[in-house]
Chain A
Amino acid sequence: MAASAAVRSAVSLTQRFVRVSPDCSICPLYRLNACTGATDGFTAPSRRLRTSIGVCQSGDSSSPEEEERVVNVVYIDRCGQRIPVQARAGENALHLAHKHGVDLEGACEASLACSTCHVYVSSEHYEKLPEPEEREDDMLDMAPMLQENSRLGCQIVLTPELDGMELTLPKVTRNFYVDGHVPKPH
């Protein structure tokens, strides 16, 4: 946790100076050889020099209209840790999770072809989400440990009325990571 916090502050510093591609050599994750290697539109010269999880996008904007569209979401990861994040309306819950280092796997990259981004939505906010379309329900059927408040994270689009929503990650996904393996986000 401390490492990702360090990344977030370090890379946001980098943002101000580097527009196109971040300098991975100063990133503590890279130096500790613990970079999870996600890219959000950046192609690095070599495979090992992949950018860290897309924090390297422009994230700050502090104009007044944008303030109203801020949505606070809390991710509760598989170990029970709470990760509060601030997002903007219109963002996708899966991409948001990747941006903040939450290990929500999205194997099919939000194309409604898997169930790995399965999350439990807090009950007060579950009703506020639109009804799932049939294809989402079909994919959700394949996820283990379903509950009444289950949804696919890649289909949750944040709106201001979802402020305060808590998304809990289920203990398992359809992929068998019984050895503790954590998949890298794409």
Chain B
Amino acid sequence: LKLIKSRELEKDEPRPLYMDFQATTPMDPRVLDAMLPYQVNYYGNPHSRTHAYGWESESAMEKARKQVADLIGADPREIVFTSGATESNNMSIKGVARFYKAKKKHIVTTQTEHKCVLDSCRIMEAEGFDVTYLPVKNNGLIDLKQLEETIRPDTSLVSIMTVNNEIGVKQPIKEIGHLCRSKNVFFHTDAAQAVGKIPINVNDWKVDLMSISGHKLYGPKGIGALYLRRRPRIRIEPLQSGGGQERGLRSGTVPTPLAVGLGAACEIAQQELEYDHKHVTVLANRLVQKIMAAIPDVVLNGDPDQRYPGCINLSFAYVEGESLLMALKDVALSSGSACTSASLEPSYVLRAIGTDEDLAHSSIRFGIGRFTTEDEVDYTVEKCVQQVKRLREMSPLWEMVQEGIDIKSIKWTQH
């Protein structure tokens, strides 16, 4: 990504439109309002049991815990505050695997998970566990039959994310949860992109562990939560040792302002979930239909129905993704996910759904959220169509295709 020169905006330069809601979201002003008093006025440590500063801080933290629990249909005692979904994912995978390692040595996950899940699984492999990375079908969904066959008697954990951050595909979590419960295997889902966007109920879905990220649902950055079922109880080996806060599972002072922010964001999300979903669906359909009507050879990656509408990953054939991003410099977009943008490899998620390498390099992710307007979508579409046409004019591959040559038959020489 050295091609996109990073530099700060000039003084009067207009800011680009933000269309990257999967990377992060702006904080809702109502969340900021809820957090501010806890930064400068009610600043006590919630674990101080001996004075009012501690008590008021603790009651705010517990209120936030209840707000988070209500959004996912859980009991407040089942929520542990963490520093984000990455920490929650690490705690789940490493914690469950290490706790039950006496008898259970196998972990199942998918090839399209977030990097923190995959990296944790690789570390567990190095510690002596067996990990199966399930392939996905071309639409991005896992095959339930294959999952059932993969589960062994010594499987301790199945980890499958609810909504994918790169292609927006929504996995059949309820069916997976029931399957895992019937086989007595713990089920973890990384719901960072799903919480507050689609209705979630951990009891209907029979989920045992769930990771939640604050800054994906218009909350503050630096806070997240982990849901751990109490009945039947799941235990984990804690990652962070210390004074035993958060039921001994995650020691360390809980950052009250951030927790309050997360709670407020969850409450707002619960109230506005239906409206937001409708808003995002309308805008997403508008974007996709307009682009597809204007230019040919555009592929929507991921299942068209089983998805969260706000995450649209389009591959523009015969156009290089990075150059399109540079051309669209007044819209903030990404190709692949933010966490993969620093490395040079193309997206492994797109590779997993069977996208050819050339198409994988040409993909752009459009993120639509609560604050996106119709004008922003229209502007993005217009610019995108214009730039794709321009880049295709310059593209030798496009020329060849227009002349009728089959690209796949060309033998490229190796340098």
- Cross-interface CB contact of A144 among B99, B233, B248, cutoff 8 Å: B248
**Residue of B at shortest CB range from A149?**
B102
Interface size on B, residues (CB 8 A): 13
Q: A148 contacts B100, CB within 8 Å? A: yes
Chain A residues with Cβ below 8 Å from B16 are: none
Kindly state whether residue A146 has any CB partner on chain B within 8 Å: yes
Kindly state whether residue A13 has any CB partner on chain B within 8 Å: no
Chain A residues with Cβ below 8 Å from B248 are: 141-144
Kindly state whether residue A137 has any CB partner on chain B within 8 Å: yes
Kindly state whether residue A63 has any CB partner on chain B within 8 Å: no
- Cross-interface CB contact of A142 among B100, B233, B247, cutoff 8 Å: B247
Docked pose: A148 CA to B237 CA in angstroms: 11
Q: A148 contacts B102, CB within 8 Å? A: yes
Distance of B10 from chain A, by nearest CB (Å): 54
1/0 contact trace for A139-183 toward B, CB 8 Å? Answer: 001111011100000000000000000000000001000000000
**Residue of A at shortest CB range from B238?**
A144
Classify the secondary structure of A's interface with B.
loop
Chain A residues with Cβ below 8 Å from B100 are: 148
**Residue of A at shortest CB range from B237?**
A146
Q: B244 contacts A142, CB within 8 Å? A: yes
List residues of B (72-123) whose CB comes within 8 Å of A's CBs. 99-100, 102-103
Q: A174 contacts B235, CB within 8 Å? A: no
Q: B99 contacts A146, CB within 8 Å? A: yes
Interface size on A, residues (CB 8 A): 10
1/0 contact trace for B228-250 toward A, CB 8 Å? Answer: 00100101010001001001110
Docked pose: A65 CA to B300 CA in angstroms: 79
- Cross-interface CB contact of B102 among A134, A141, A142, A147, cutoff 8 Å: A147
Q: A174 contacts B99, CB within 8 Å? A: no
Q: A174 contacts B244, CB within 8 Å? A: yes
Q: A137 contacts B102, CB within 8 Å? A: no
List residues of A (110-147) whose CB comes within 8 Å of B's CBs. 134, 137, 141-144, 146-147
Chain A residues with Cβ below 8 Å from B244 are: 142, 144, 174
Distance of B155 from chain A, by nearest CB (Å): 15
Chain B residues with Cβ below 8 Å from A141 are: 235, 247-249
Chain B residues with Cβ below 8 Å from A134 are: 230
With A147-B102, A148-B100, A148-B102 as known contacts, state yes or no: A137 contacts B233, CB within 8 Å.
yes
On A, residues with C-beta under 8 Å from B are 134, 137, 141-144, 146-148, 174
User: What are 8 sample pairs from A and B whose C-beta atoms fall under 8 A apart?
Assistant: A142-B244, A142-B247, A143-B248, A144-B248, A146-B99, A146-B235, A148-B100, A174-B244
On B, residues with C-beta under 8 Å from A are 99-100, 102-103, 230, 233, 235, 237, 241, 244, 247-249
Given contact pairs A134-B230, A141-B235, A142-B247, a sample of 17 additional A-B residue pairs in the complex whose CB atoms are under 8 Å apart: A137-B230, A137-B233, A141-B247, A141-B248, A142-B244, A143-B248, A144-B241, A144-B244, A144-B248, A146-B99, A146-B235, A147-B102, A148-B99, A148-B100, A148-B103, A148-B235, A174-B244
Query: Which 7 A-B pairs give the minimum distances between C-beta atoms?
Result: A141-B247, A142-B248, A137-B233, A142-B244, A146-B235, A141-B248, A148-B102
